[in-house]
Amino acid sequence: LEFRRVLFRSEQQNPNLYLYLGRARMEQGGRMIDPRAADSFYVAALTSFELARNLTPRDETCVLELAFANDALHRFPEAESFFETALKLDPNSDSLHKAYDGHLKLWKAGR
């Protein structure tokens, strides 16, 4: 246990730590039957992704994860803002454009 605490303290400046934690929380949220339980995981994921973004503000991966988490919470305008930022950071990414199209379809469907 002490080793894990020391390791975590030494890795606090590693954005991947927060990205992995956020992704794990998103995964857990997707497995929840109760929507309130799912939302609690998605909100926790937002916190992790924000920590990653604070360490690497120009990394479109962090911004994209924030967009996905907001979509999961049905916060479509907030997700839109993050998608716009990600597209500015990497305007030529085909996968990012596809993810954005998925966001627009989800928003239009109101899901």
pLDDT number for residue 36: 97
Chain mean pLDDT for the chain: 91
Q: Which residues contact 26 (CB under 8 A, 6 or more apart)?
A: 41, 42, 45, 65, 68, 69, 72
pLDDT digits (tens, 9 = 90+) for 15-58: 998 999 999 999 999 999 999 999 999 999 999 999 999 999 99
CB 66 within 8 A of CB 46: yes
How many Å apart are CA 49 and CA 32, to the nearest integer?
20
- The arithmetic mean of pLDDT across residues 54-79, rounded, is 96
Percent of the chain at pLDDT exceeding 90 = 83
How many Å apart are CA 71 and CA 78, to the nearest integer?
8
Taking the model in full, what pTM does it have?
0.87
The closest of 106, 67, 14, 22 to 30, measured between CA atoms, is 22
Query: Dihedral of the CA atoms 88, 66, 28, 32 (nearest 10)?
Result: -110
pLDDT number for residue 6: 53
